[in-house]
Structure 1
Amino acid sequence: MITITGLSNIKYQEWLALWSAYLEFYKTELNPQQAALTFKRLSDASQTDMFGYAIIKNQNVVGIVHLISHASTWTKLPYCYLQDLFIDANYRNQGLARKLIEFSYDECKNSYDRVYWLTHKSNDNARLLYNRVATETGFIQYKKSLN
């Protein structure tokens, strides 16, 4: 059985295992305090600008999605940025990432103008899915770290 639930309904350690694997996939590290703060923000039901969901298969938390709401200068309704999407390696290629994306669409469709995200150009497996569920925009991201 597969269910999707808000992160407030799962344990921190269940989320942390997936979050840590996601960070490892992108060859990055965050300190434990940042991880705790991130989960607190994502799992706080009163938080409206940052939220997330977990996908559960056979009582195991096997995937997560994190979303950030923000206003836009181009539309009346805000945008929803899908910042993170991760499925445990043992559960990939079962349609679970697609389920999380489509669930996010359903949750956002009445309150947001769009859902959008970025991925690394080398993330070929994910891009196969993304090309089926969304439109590549052709934009290139630029970044300047300030801290």
Structure 2
Amino acid sequence: MTEAERIAIRPLAAADRADWQPLWQAYLDFYRQELAEGVTEAVFARISGDGAHCGLVAERDGKMIGFVHYIVHETTWSLAPTCYLEDLYVDGATRGGGAGRALIAAVGDAARARGCRSVYWHTHDDNARARTLYDKVAVLSPFVRYDQILTPQS
């Protein structure tokens, strides 16, 4: 059995909090992000519940080695919804074994089942290792992303 064949993908569950947390923290560290604990608690509640956000995990030999979070939403360019793959992370020690590809494929399957026209995601332009996989499973968009940071109104 190959490494990729030993990977199981399943929905994230509330009972996964302790196994998900170190992977989530490693993901945040990779992107040099710090979140208040309350934000992390709210994120986990969203992705492990029955709301619009969804979470899947990759396991190998019963151990969680990765996750993906996604959200299906309406779009102005189609009657069919689209799917935003928001977060994808695979433990560094297991990268290259097929978990990332399997998680992306599982999001595609879930999006297709919900009638989506596409799945899209972002990454840093210097995330070369991930982009090697992304170039094999998707088409690089010509769009450039801009962020406008909003301050609370007083």
Q: Please give the range of the TM-score, normalised by the shorter of the 2 chains.
A: over 0.9
What secondary structure is seen at the aligned counterpart in 2 of 1:11?
A: helix
Aligned match of 1:32: 37
| RMSD of aligned residue pairs (Cα, Å) | 1.1
Query: If the length of structure 2 is used for normalisation, what is the TM-score?
Result: 0.90
Letter in 2 for 1:123: N
Report the AA paired with residue 61 of structure 1: M
- Distance in 2 of aligned mates of 1:2 and 1:120: 26
The alignment partner of 2:72 has SS state of strand
Distance 1:115-1:6 versus aligned 2 partners, 3 A rule = same
Q: Map 1:1-147; keep pairs closer than 5 Å.
A: 1-8=6-13, 10-44=15-49, 46-47=50-51, 49-111=52-114, 112-147=116-151
Q: Distance in 1 between matches of 2:70 and 2:82?
A: 10
Provide the C-alpha distance between the structure 2 equivalents of 1:85 and 1:11, rounded to a whole number of angstroms.
Answer: 16
For 1:95 and 1:83, the matched residues in 2 are separated by: 19
Q: Distance in 1 between matches of 2:137 and 2:106?
A: 12
Call closer, same or farther: CA 1:12–1:50 in 2, change over 3 Å: same
Distance in 2 separating the partners of 1:90 and 1:21: 12
Q: How many residues align?
A: 145
Percent of pairs with identical residues: 36
Structure label with greater radius of gyration = 2
What CA distance in whole angstroms lies between the structure 2 residues aligned with 1:56 and 1:86?
12
- Give the Cα–Cα distance (whole angstroms) in 2 for the partners of residues 51 and 110 of structure 1: 14
The two structures have a TM-score, normalised by structure 1, of 0.95
Gaps of 5+ in 1: none
2:30 partner letter: F
C-alpha displacement of 1:2 = 2.0
Q: For 1:124-144, what per-residue CA distance to the aligned partner results, in whole angstroms no more than 9, with x for missing partners?
A: 111110010000111110001
Residue 9 of structure 1: CA displacement? Answer: 6.0
Structure 1 residue 51: deviation in Å?
0.5
C-alpha separation between the residues in 2 aligned to 1:19 and 1:110?
27
**Any stretches of 5+ residues in structure 2 without a counterpart?**
1-5
Give secondary structure in 2 for the equivalent of 1:70: strand
Runs of 4+ in 1 over 3 A off after TM superposition: none
State whether residues 14 and 45 of structure 2, in contact with CA within 8 Å, keep that contact through their aligned partners in structure 1: no
